[in-house]
Amino acid sequence: MANISVEQTQDQARKLLDSKIESVTALVKARQRVSDLREHLAQAEKDDKRAYVRATKDGWTTDQLKTLGLENSAASRRRSVKRSSSSEGALPPVIASASDTES
């Protein structure tokens, strides 16, 4: 029977666990960054909406703002949401698996 070193086995086990801990740590950091960015985006969208409303209250028409390339982003989001929700009733295309096509 081969000699088994407890210390050597523990070191190998720690290296394996350290690798797993590093990958899960990276995953947690990435998920937290996504969460933070979503919060920042939500705040930026609120700020954008307020600024657009302010511009219209200051006398800019929606057509003038659109001509300047400043279309109402809330309206474009509503349109894209409306388009995607209309396709909800449609069934996704069926993709044949390799086993289905071999017979």
Q: Residue 24 carries which DSSP code?
A: H
In tens, the pLDDT along 41-51 reads 999 999 999 99
Give pTM, 2 decimals: 0.56
- For residue 103, the model assigns a pLDDT of 42
Q: How confident is the model at residue 1 (pLDDT cuts 50, 70, 90)?
A: low
Return the higher-pLDDT residue of 77 and 96. 77
Domain residue limits, the chain:
12-83
> Is the distance from CB of 55 to CB of 65 less than 8 angstroms?
yes
- For residue 77, the model assigns a pLDDT of 63
The full length of the chain comes to 103
Residue 26 CA neighbour count, 13 Å, CB half:
5
- How far is Cα 33 from Cα 26, in angstroms, rounded to an integer? 11
Reply yes or no on whether the pLDDT at 33 is more than 80: yes
